[in-house]
Structure formats: C-alpha cells, structure tokens
C-alpha cells in the first residue's frame, strides 16, 4: 500500500497524559492538520484514532512529541493500523473505564502564571478566588478517588458547575477545557474565613490551621518570636526547624543564600521545601531554626497561600499539621486531635482524598537530593531495568514509611506516609495501600516487608496476607538505588543509617554489602557496640557514647571527666555500667547513625535529641573544610574498629577539629573499603542525608551512585523491596 493512501490508525500514548490538557492539545493539533478522528482517555493513557496517510501520521506524531502540554510526560507513543472507520470531524470521546489502569496519576502542582495573573486582575470573574485553577495547574493526586482522571472520580464531583464554568470546561479551545477542579465564586469550593481577616490574626501572633492541597498547615508569623515560641511549646517541638513560606524569590533571597539550581527548585511547578544556607540577619525569629544555619524555604503553591502572603507581607512558618512524625491531618476530624495547638482554622469544602505532605529537597555539590518525596512528586513512578514476573506489593519499613506496588517494569511509590508508631498512622498506612490498589486496579501476588519482626508494616503483612517475604533492611536500601539508577551489575553498597534488623538479630546500620539483584554478602561493618537501655539510646546520644567509653576503659570510665560522663550522675553511671557488663537491655548495634550520636555526645554537642537527625545536623555546623586530617581505623575480619578514633577524639582540644576529623575518617572508611572491591559504589541510608558527609563522598569518589529522586532514608525502602521480590523463589 502506498504511504499516500489514507488508512485508519490507532495511536496509543502512555505516561503522565491525563489531567494535563492532553486531549484538548490533540484536538487542537488535529484541527491544524484537518484530521478526522477521535481522542480518548483510557486506563493506560491516551488513545487516538484517525484516518490519514502514513506520511501525515508521522508528522502528527512528531508534533505530539515536541509540542506536548507542559505538565505532560510522554513515556511511549505507538501506533498501529486498525479496521477502517469513518469519522465525522475530530472529537473528544468519553473515557473508557475498562482495561488495566497503568496510566500515571498526575501529581498536585502549583498555580500557573496565567491563573496567578487572573487572580490579581480586578476585571476577571475569578478575581481573588482562592481556588482558581486550569488545565495547566492545581490539584490532581490529592483529589483523585480512582482513574481515569475525570471530574466524577474526584472530590470535585459534588460541585455542580455553573453555566460560565461549564462553557469553559466544554470548550476544547479554552484553557480550562476538562480542568477537573474548575470552579468559581458561583459554583466552586469556598473558604471558611476571609483571608484579610486571617492575615490580621496571624499578624497579631495567632496560630492558624489552614487547609491546603494535601492537608492542613499550622501557620504563624515567622518574624514573631512569641508566636513561633508559642507554636513550639504547644506542639511540644522544642528545636526541630520549621519550614517557612515566602512570597517570592526576592523575599527568599533576603533570608538565605540561593544559587541558580536552588532557585529553579523553589520556582519549579512542584514547589518543594528547599533546604538552604541561612543568611546572617534577624529577619526571621531565631526560634524558627535554633542553633542551625539552614532553613527550609518554599514559595506559595496555591491561590490561598498567594493571597494570604500578599496580605501578610512577611514570611510565615508553615508546618504540616500533625502530631510529630504522624501523617498530615486531612480533614477537620483528624485536625481536632491538635486542638489547643492552633487558635483558628481556615477550612474549605473540597475534600482531600489522598493526603500529601510537602516535599523536601536539598542541593549538595550541584546534585539535587530528595529528602521527602511527597506533594508535586508523588505518587512516583520508577521504571525498572527488568520486567517483574508478578504483581508485587512492598510495605516498606517503619519510619518515614512509604509503600510501593510493582507490575511489569513499573513501580509506583506512595508519598511519604510518616512513622508507623501510632494507631492513626497505621490506619493511614493501610489507607495508602488501599488507594494504590484501587487506583491501579491492582491485586498483589507477592507481598514483601522488612525483616524486623516488630515493625508495624511486618505485622500488617503477617496479619493480612497468607504468605509474605522479608527483606533485610540495608539490602533494600541499596536495591532501591540500583532500581532507580537502573543498575544491573554487582555493586558495593554502603548502607549507613540509624537502625535496621540484621540477619543475626542485632541492629545493623554501618554496613558494606557486596550485592546484586540475587543476594548480598555483608563484607564489612562497624564493630558492634552495646546500646544502653535499648531503644532509649536512639534518643539519647550520651548512652551510646558512655557505652563506647566502657568498651575503651571499662570501670575506669566511671571516674572520667568529659561531656558524656558529665551528662550522667554518679549513680546513673554505675547502673549503666552494671547493665553494660551483664548485657541487660543492651542490644548490639553496628549503626553509623548511632556512631554520629556518640561523637555528638563526646564533643558536648548534643546529649539528648529532640528530633531524629539532630546530632548529625549539629555536627554539620562544626565541619571545617580547612581541616584535612583524620583518625585511624582498624579493619579486621570484616569488622571496622573505631575505638582508637573515640580515644583520640576525647583528647582533642578544639571542638571543630575533632568533628571535622571525624567526618574525614568516615569518608576515608568508604574510600578504603571501596578500594578493596573493584565494583561500582552505591551509597544509601538516612545518614547520607547529612550534606557534609554526602558532599565529601562526592568529592572523593566522583563516580559514587546515590538516589536523587527517591529519598536515601527509609522512604526508599519499599522500592528496594519490590526489586527483591524478583529473587523470591516460588
Ligand atoms: Zn492555571
Ligand atoms: Zn462556576
Ligand atoms: Fe534505614
């Protein structure tokens, strides 16, 4: 058949192609070619049928690739000949709800510039309307009940469009054609309080809970000492830094040093929180991020935030409304648990179906690192370097929980769920499993979980599934990076984190694993030490340090004078010594996170932590790049003995010298073990959130491989677990 002969073709497009204005884009494009045919959404993406010549078809597809709408992400376009059909004009047809649902859910994104312009245009009918949105911006994931992404499948279903909105919605040439969250003063969601008034209250020092995209924020004036302190006292959060939302880049650069890459992140359509180096001035209350020269800033991403900041004319603390490390509150009932923390609530009537925290990113040595993957980025999709044989459900770890489902070559990772320490968070965890299964019409054939028998995720697996498989925590950390970076060869994995259940029942966390997709060998690890008081040692660095002093000096440690021993009474020291000697509630650990804690205690930087990672953050502050010396370590039969380093550290006169040499020593440890194995080096685990450590490793080993789009902490575990399922023998 000649290529000039008209034929009926079907074009199938996969990727993020729903809820991003793809069908109207195709419609308009078809008009320019005067094509006849149709376009529709189905469970796996967008489907086009048309009648044309092969030559035109190729041009048309080329145009689709190059001119696709800004928020879309085409993964694959394929076409095939189908039985001849007669079309009249070009039409957009109703969604087909059958078939496998594999299309990617579009994430929630920030307000676009066109909507922002309309928002502040007194002649626009949506002037100052706090829910203005269009096809190119606004909520998606947070309002979706199921795919395909159509209004009746979202929490907008209950709002009946007015005539004016309906006209825009139905006009393929309009910017709001099929913009599912479309609405206006006459027909859309409404805010429970006037933003003018809210701004006044905040200026007066009030703490206001404001419903946003994926949940409520607790908001207060970031320049007001007593307001921020009040929030700290009420939230029982003494020192953990708060994120601050600012009107624009100009405001942001008054508060922090921002390079081009960081500016791009701040301004991106995902609008994450970006960790930045604080500028030395007193524009912000010193209580926002005490003792730390870093600040998490983000720009407004909804019309509500924009309007509020416009009235406030100052930066505001905007922290997730939740009980520490629990899931974000998404409805007024869950918010009630926080009663007494906020003074006022600004509510709205667009239901949040899927909760979603703010994402957190940082830039280290020119590399973007994802610390919390949530709004704007979630649900994440990762393409595997191989096809999964079965449908896999991975339940993740226990802290910074995320879950994942895997099918074919695809892994869908849930947003950050939180720590599974309360009934509420476990319920939310179960809800996330349900959501992913419903949205993707997914039934698991293999269930995987962490090896730790006491993790809530493990208990959930045991309770809900007949058969499930356990994956060693640190192996999962490394597998996650391998999957994200599509690495199929053998690697040397360095997993440094707080704790993870080891094969021998002890708590691992300073691990060197030679591994591939089939298994791993633990080749080196920190020499285990006792955690005085078990879990208590996780929050009290002084306990870890005291244990190391016992290792070094035995009973003589009781009479030593240093920041660690000084943090205990004589009696306490003796009690701990007896426990240490007899091994009472003193589990063994090889955790690098705990070693960081010990160093923070021995140097007097931190004895008791009020939030996870505090010791590492405080140590970062003391690092001096001018100091290049390090301590020596001893490698013996797979164990890394660091006690000599502890002894030398104690003798150090200057704080920053000891801390800097410690960092250098850890980097050298990685370099040394890497030199033994001629393998690609992969690093992962929560300790690598430390930007000083990560920066130094990148400097010393430029080819080091690490996660950039998935968090290095336990938020990345579920992805690694999916990959593990591949090696499960059935
Ligand atoms: Zn818009
Ligand atoms: Zn309307
Ligand atoms: Fe971990």
Which ligand has the nearest atom to the CA of 302? 1
Residue 337 has pLDDT above 80, yes or no: yes
* Distance from residue 29's CA to the centre of ligand 2 (Å): 28
Residue 108 has pLDDT above 90, yes or no: yes
* Distance from residue 191's CA to the centre of ligand 2 (Å): 15
CA geometry: angle 19, 25, 26, nearest 5 deg:
110
* Distance from residue 377's CA to the centre of ligand 3 (Å): 21
Task: Give the C-alpha separation, 365 to 698, whole Å.
Answer: 8
Which ligand has the nearest atom to the CA of 116? 1
Q: In this structure, what token pair is assigned to residue 246?
A: 């600012």
- The secondary structure of 149-204 as a DSSP string is --GGGBTTTTSPPPHHHHHHHH-TTSTTTT-TT---TTTS--BSS-HHHHHHHHHT
Residues, Cβ < 5 Å to ion ligand 2: 162, 165, 184, 186-187
Task: Give the C-alpha separation, 397 to 719, whole Å.
Answer: 11
Mean pLDDT of 454-460: 96
Q: What is the pLDDT of residue 105?
A: 79
Which ligand has the nearest atom to the CA of 166? 2
* Distance from residue 161's CA to the centre of ligand 2 (Å): 5
* Distance from residue 716's CA to the centre of ligand 3 (Å): 9
Axis crossing angle, helix 655-676 with helix 614-622, rounded to the nearest 10: 110
Which ligand has the nearest atom to the CA of 21? 1
* Distance from residue 336's CA to the centre of ligand 3 (Å): 32
Q: In this structure, what token pair is assigned to residue 387?
A: 């096809």
pLDDT in tens, 662-679: 999 999 999 999 999 999
* Distance from residue 498's CA to the centre of ligand 3 (Å): 6
Which ligand has the nearest atom to the CA of 495? 3
User: Distances in Å between the alpha carbon of 202 and those of 197, 305, 314, 342, 414?
Assistant: 9, 13, 10, 11, 33
Residue 503 has pLDDT above 80, yes or no: yes
Mean pLDDT of 7-21: 89
Q: Are 447 and 395 in contact (CB under 8 A)?
A: yes
What phi and psi, each to the nearest 5 degrees, are found at residue 281?
A: -160, 180
Q: In this structure, what token pair is assigned to residue 677?
A: 């194995």
Task: Give the C-alpha separation, 470 to 447, whole Å.
Answer: 9
* Distance from residue 269's CA to the centre of ligand 1 (Å): 11
Mean pLDDT of 100-125: 88
* Distance from residue 301's CA to the centre of ligand 2 (Å): 22
Mean pLDDT of 133-142: 92
- For 593-684, where are the E strands, in sequence order? 634-636, 639-641, 681-684
Residue 95 has pLDDT above 80, yes or no: no
* Distance from residue 24's CA to the centre of ligand 1 (Å): 15
What phi and psi, each to the nearest 5 degrees, are found at residue 679?
A: -135, 155
Which ligand has the nearest atom to the CA of 303? 1
Q: What is the pLDDT of residue 102?
A: 59
Residue 11 has pLDDT above 90, yes or no: yes
Residue 324 has pLDDT above 80, yes or no: no
Q: What is the pLDDT of residue 97?
A: 56
Burial 568-586, CB ≥16 within 10 A → b, else e: beeeebeebbebbeeeeeb
551, exposed or middle or buried, with CB in 10 Å at 0-12, 13-18, 19+? middle
Q: What is the pLDDT of residue 103?
A: 64
pTM score above 0.85: yes
Among candidate residues 306, 419, 323, the one with its CA nearest the CA of residue 372 = 419
Which ligand has the nearest atom to the CA of 133? 1
pLDDT in tens, 469-487: 999 999 999 999 999 999 9
As a whole number, the mean pLDDT across the chain is 94
- HSE at residue 175, side-chain half, CA atoms within 13 A, is 12
Task: Give the C-alpha separation, 2 to 662, whole Å.
Answer: 72
Residue with tokens 């239901």: 351
Q: Are 217 and 347 in contact (CB under 8 A)?
A: no
* Distance from residue 133's CA to the centre of ligand 2 (Å): 12
Task: Tell me what percent of the residues of the chain surpass a pLDDT of 90.
Answer: 86
CA 714 remoteness from chain centre: 10
Q: Are 478 and 684 in contact (CB under 8 A)?
A: yes
Task: Give the C-alpha separation, 499 to 507, whole Å.
Answer: 6
Between 508 and 417, name the one with better pLDDT. 508
* Distance from residue 180's CA to the centre of ligand 2 (Å): 12
Task: Give the C-alpha separation, 101 to 384, whole Å.
Answer: 18
Q: What is the pLDDT of residue 44?
A: 80
Which ligand has the nearest atom to the CA of 717? 3
* Distance from residue 358's CA to the centre of ligand 3 (Å): 21
Which ligand has the nearest atom to the CA of 167? 2
* Distance from residue 710's CA to the centre of ligand 3 (Å): 13
* Distance from residue 169's CA to the centre of ligand 2 (Å): 10
* Distance from residue 118's CA to the centre of ligand 1 (Å): 9
Q: What is the pLDDT of residue 259?
A: 97
pLDDT in tens, 386-427: 999 999 999 999 999 999 999 999 999 998 898 998 888 999
pLDDT in tens, 531-550: 999 999 999 999 999 999 99
Which ligand has the nearest atom to the CA of 132? 1
Q: Are 113 and 103 in contact (CB under 8 A)?
A: no
* Distance from residue 20's CA to the centre of ligand 2 (Å): 20
Residue 730 has pLDDT above 70, yes or no: no
Burial 36-59, CB ≥16 within 10 A → b, else e: bbbbbbbbbbbbbbbbbebebbee
pLDDT in tens, 580-616: 999 999 999 999 999 999 999 999 999 999 999 999 9
CA 237 remoteness from chain centre: 21
């Amino acid at each position: 058949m000649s290529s000039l002969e008209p034929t009926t073709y079907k074009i199938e497009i996969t990727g993020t192609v729903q809820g991003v204005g793809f069908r109207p884009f195709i419609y308009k494009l078809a008009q320019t070619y005067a094509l006849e045919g149709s376009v529709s959404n189905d469970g796996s993406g967008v489907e086009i049928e048309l009648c044309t010549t092969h030559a035109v078809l190729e041009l048309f597809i080329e145009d689709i690739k190059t001119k696709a709408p800004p928020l879309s992400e085409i993964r694959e376009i394929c076409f095939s000949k189908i039985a001849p059909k007669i079309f009249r004009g070009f039409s957009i047809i109703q969604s087909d709800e059958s078939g496998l649902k594999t299309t990617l859910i579009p994430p929630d994104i920030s307000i676009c510039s066109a909507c922002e312009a309309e928002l502040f245009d007194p002649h626009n009918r949506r002037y100052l309307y706090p829910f203005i949105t269009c096809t190119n911006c606004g909520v998606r994931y947070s309002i979706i009940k199921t795919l395909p992404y159509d209004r009746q499948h979202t929490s907008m279903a209950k709002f009946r469009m007015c005539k004016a909105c309906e006209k825009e919605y139905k006009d393929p040439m309009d910017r709001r054609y099929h913009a599912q969250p479309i609405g206006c003063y006459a027909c859309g969601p409404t805010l429970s309080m006037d933003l003018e008034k809210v701004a006044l209250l905040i200026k007066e020092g009030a703490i206001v809970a404001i419903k946003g995209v994926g949940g409520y924020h607790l908001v207060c004036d970031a320049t007001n000492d007593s307001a921020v302190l009040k929030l700290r006292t009420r939230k029982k959060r003494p020192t953990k830094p708060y994120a601050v939302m600012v009107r624009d880049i100009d405001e942001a650069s008054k508060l922090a040093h921002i390079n081009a890459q960081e500016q791009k992140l701040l301004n991106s359509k995902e609008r994450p929180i970006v960790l930045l180096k604080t500028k030395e001035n007193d524009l912000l209350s010193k209580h926002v991020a005490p003792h730390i020269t870093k600040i998490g800033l983000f720009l407004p991403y909804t019309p509500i935030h924009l309007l509020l900041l416009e009235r406030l004319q100052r930066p505001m603390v905007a922290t997730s409304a939740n009980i520490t490390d629990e899931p974000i509150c998404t409805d007024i009932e869950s918010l009630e648990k926080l009663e007494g923390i906020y003074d006022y609530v600004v509510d709205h009537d667009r239901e949040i179906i899927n909760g979603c925290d703010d994402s957190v990113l940082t830039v280290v040595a020119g590399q973007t690192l994802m610390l919390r993957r949530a709004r704007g980025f979630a649900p994440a999709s990762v393409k595997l370097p191989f096809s999964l044989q079965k449908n896999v459900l991975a339940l993740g770890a226990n802290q910074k929980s995320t879950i994942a489902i895997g099918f074919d070559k695809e892994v869908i990772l849930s947003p950050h769920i939180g720590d599974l320490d309360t009934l509420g968070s476990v319920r939310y965890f179960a809800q996330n499993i349900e959501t992913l299964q419903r949205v993707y019409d997914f039934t698991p054939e293999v269930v995987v979980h962490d090896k730790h028998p006491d993790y809530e995720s493990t208990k959930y697996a045991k309770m809900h599934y007949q058969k499930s498989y356990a994956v060693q925590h640190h192996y999962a950390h490394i597998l996650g990076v391998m999957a994200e970076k599509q690495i199929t060869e053998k690697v040397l994995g360095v997993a440094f984190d707080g704790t993870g259940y080891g094969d021998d029942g002890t708590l691992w966390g300073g691990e060197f694993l030679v591994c591939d997709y089939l298994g791993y060998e633990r080749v080196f690890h920190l020499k285990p030490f006792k955690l005085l008081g078990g879990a208590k040692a996780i929050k009290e660095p002084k306990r870890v340090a005291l244990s190391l002093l016992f290792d070094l000096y035995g009973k003589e440690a009781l009479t030593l004078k240093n920041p660690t021993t000084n943090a205990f009474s004589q009696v306490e020291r003796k009690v701990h010594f007896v426990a240490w000697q007899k091994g009472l509630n003193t589990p063994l650990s090889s955790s690098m996170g705990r070693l960081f804690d010990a160093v923070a205690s021995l140097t007097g930087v931190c004895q008791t932590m009020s939030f996870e990672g505090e010791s590492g953050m405080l140590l970062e502050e003391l690092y001096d790049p001018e100091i290049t010396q390090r301590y020596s370590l001893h490698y013996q039969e797979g164990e890394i003995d660091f006690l000599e380093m502890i002894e030398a550290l104690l003798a150090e006169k200057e704080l920053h010298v000891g801390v800097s040499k410690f960092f250098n020593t850890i980097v050298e440890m990685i370099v040394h073990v890497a030199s033994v194995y001629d393998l690609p080096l992969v690093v992962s685990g929560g300790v690598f959130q430390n930007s000083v450590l990560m920066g130094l490793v990148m400097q010393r080993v430029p080819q080091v491989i690490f996660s950039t789009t998935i968090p290095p902490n336990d938020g990345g575990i579920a992805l690694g677990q999916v990959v593990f399922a591949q090696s499960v023998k059935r």
